Amino acid sequence: MKERTLADFRPMQERCSNCSYCKFIPLDKIRSREFAGGCPSIGYYNFNTYSARGRFQLGVALNRGEDVGEKDLEQVVFSCLSCGACDVSCKICRYNLEPLAHNIALKEALIERGMVPGRVAEERDRLMAAGARAGLCAADLGLPVQGEVLFLPGDRTQESPETADTVCRAAALLRRCGLDIAALSEGFFSGAVLYDMGFRKDFEEIAKENIARIEASGAKEVVTPCADTFYALNRLYPELGLTVPVRHITQVLADLIAQGTLRLTQEVPVRVTYHDPCSLGRKGEAYEPWEGEEKKILNQVHTWEPRRPRYIGNDGVYDAPRAVLRAIPGLELAEMERIREYGYSCGEGAGIPEIDPGLAAFAAHGRLDEAKASEAEQLVTADPSSLLQLRSARRDGDLPVTDLLTLVLAAAGEE
Ligand code: SF4
Ligand code: SF4
């Protein structure tokens, strides 16, 4: 991956206009005051430094060598979910800034200086000890090790017998639909969470091992039910040499339904609302790191040569899960206020449930409240990690949280 330091972000830091749009979803998307927030970190701490705006200011101070207060600095920098909501909102109203990349670069800069809080170090060590080969393998999934489609079950799927069973049954369903599907002989952990925590070197080590395994498998395509695995393979791994394309399982299911290969015939009479996982949505869109020169015309207008792409999160996987849900007989889809690239984090990202449990619970409760306000009966998601996070945060009166795959299996008569 292209080397980067905090100094590379200096022009971006200086162009932050302190407008605070990054704290909210875009103004024209706001439907209520209660669900206007976009950034869980500023929502929980209610102090400017925790927003993308404040993080740019921290970056300016660090680049100038100012004394920011070591312990406070560490706490603020690592209490960011790397969810990317600020990145979308900022680009709607301002120049082509990339607050998400800057937030992660801040974490990388502190790690480089050895400023790593204990909980962050513990979570990093836990993930690295498990390594690239953690999780369910071909034998666990009941799949062969050779096939045209490589099925990667997900970074946290094995943590719950229920999610593991659902994913195994979903893989079997794909096989019955005619996909020549296989899995790796050992488990697979994408390492995306390490990247989002700022441990770029550790992430690259895991990613390179995984890329070699994927390329050696001979598969023409990867399919995964996991949002973080999709984000890693679609957005991060190509820069490290991955050539095999990836689809999320909802994209495969939507295609099979559209072709008439998968027939959903059983009624599932339930009103659901759908949570867009950040790593499947706005962070899931393909991304090419830009290289070029930033220029200022007449000391006023910023421009980039060559043209610099502007990623606003609208190319994530949003339509496929909704198409699958709408194909289920008897099911009704009620949308929440913050959806698609403006979706609100479930609190799962960047190791935050372990690093800052209060922040993780705050985000999850915000999402559960929003789901209840939609008047749905169940909150559905299409990612084992989001499912486990939302379920672990449920309070009395919150909606049950369901895996989209469970609904598909029921509608296909696979219960
Ligand atoms: S929206 Fe962008 S420009 Fe405005 S304060 Fe936030 S980071 Fe700065
Ligand atoms: S990435 Fe998410 S948690 Fe971090 S500053 Fe941006 S919106 Fe807030």
Domain containing 140 — which CATH number? Answer: 3.40.50.1860
Would 80 be classed as within a structural domain? no
| Any atom of ligand 1 within 6 Å of the Cβ of 90 | yes
Residue 204 and residue 199: Cα distance in Å, rounded?
A: 9
pLDDT confidence of 323, banded at 50, 70, 90?
Answer: very high
Instruction: Report the percent of the chain where pLDDT is more than 90.
Output: 89
Would 120 be classed as within a structural domain? no
Over residues 321-328, the mean pLDDT reads 98
Q: What is the pLDDT of residues 50-107, one digit of tens each?
A: 999 999 999 999 999 998 887 789 999 999 999 999 999 999 877 789 999 999 999 9
Which residue has a Cα nearest atom 7 of ligand 1? 53
| Residues 388-402 as b or e (16 or more Cβ within 10 Å = b) | bbbbbbeeeebbebb
Residue 320 and residue 342: Cα distance in Å, rounded?
A: 17
Tell me what the pLDDT averaged over the chain comes to.
95
| Any atom of ligand 2 within 6 Å of the Cβ of 100 | yes
Is 368 within 8 Å of 392 (Cβ atoms)?
Answer: no
The closest alpha carbon to 274, from 236, 229, 341, 325, belongs to 325
Which residue has a Cα nearest atom 4 of ligand 1? 19
What's the total number of domains in the chain?
1
Ligand 2 nearest atom to the CA of residue 52, by list position? 5
Ligand 1 nearest atom to the CA of residue 94, by list position? 3
Residue 163 and residue 76: Cα distance in Å, rounded?
A: 33
Q: Give CA 102 to chain center in angstroms.
A: 17
Over residues 36-40, the mean pLDDT reads 98
Over residues 268-297, the mean pLDDT reads 93
Would 223 be classed as within a structural domain? yes
On the 0-12 / 13-18 / 19+ scale of CB atoms within 10 A, 369 is middle
Sign of the torsion angle spanned by Cα atoms 9, 10, 11, 15: positive
Would 125 be classed as within a structural domain? no
- Residues whose CB is less than 8 angstroms from the CB of residue 389 and which lie 6 or more positions away in sequence, other chains included: 346, 347, 348, 353, 360, 364
Query: Which ligand minimizes its atom distance to the CA of 59?
Result: 1
Residue 126 has pLDDT above 90, yes or no: yes
Residue 274's DSSP bridge partners are 380
Q: What is the pLDDT of residues 138-159, one digit of tens each?
A: 999 999 999 999 999 999 999 9
* Pair type for strands 378-381 and 401-403: parallel
Instruction: Report the percent of the chain where pLDDT is more than 70.
Output: 100
Is 336 within 8 Å of 373 (Cβ atoms)?
Answer: yes
Whole-structure pTM value: 0.97
C-alpha 237 to ligand 1 mean position (Å) = 28
Would 52 be classed as within a structural domain? no
Residue 111 has pLDDT above 80, yes or no: yes
Would 218 be classed as within a structural domain? yes
162 lies in which domain range?
131-249
C-alpha 18 to ligand 2 mean position (Å) = 15
Residue of 79, 81, 98, 341 to test ligand 2 pocket, by largest number of atoms within 8 Å of CB: 81
Over residues 29-57, the mean pLDDT reads 97
Residue 220 and residue 211: Cα distance in Å, rounded?
A: 13
Which residue has a Cα nearest atom 8 of ligand 2? 39
- Residues whose CB is less than 8 angstroms from the CB of residue 300 and which lie 6 or more positions away in sequence, other chains included: none
Is 190 within 8 Å of 226 (Cβ atoms)?
Answer: yes
Would 410 be classed as within a structural domain? no
Would 345 be classed as within a structural domain? no
Query: Which ligand minimizes its atom distance to the CA of 15?
Result: 1
| Residues 181-198 as b or e (16 or more Cβ within 10 Å = b) | bbbbebbbbbbbbbbbbb
| Any atom of ligand 1 within 6 Å of the Cβ of 21 | yes
pLDDT confidence of 415, banded at 50, 70, 90?
Answer: low
| Any atom of ligand 2 within 6 Å of the Cβ of 40 | yes
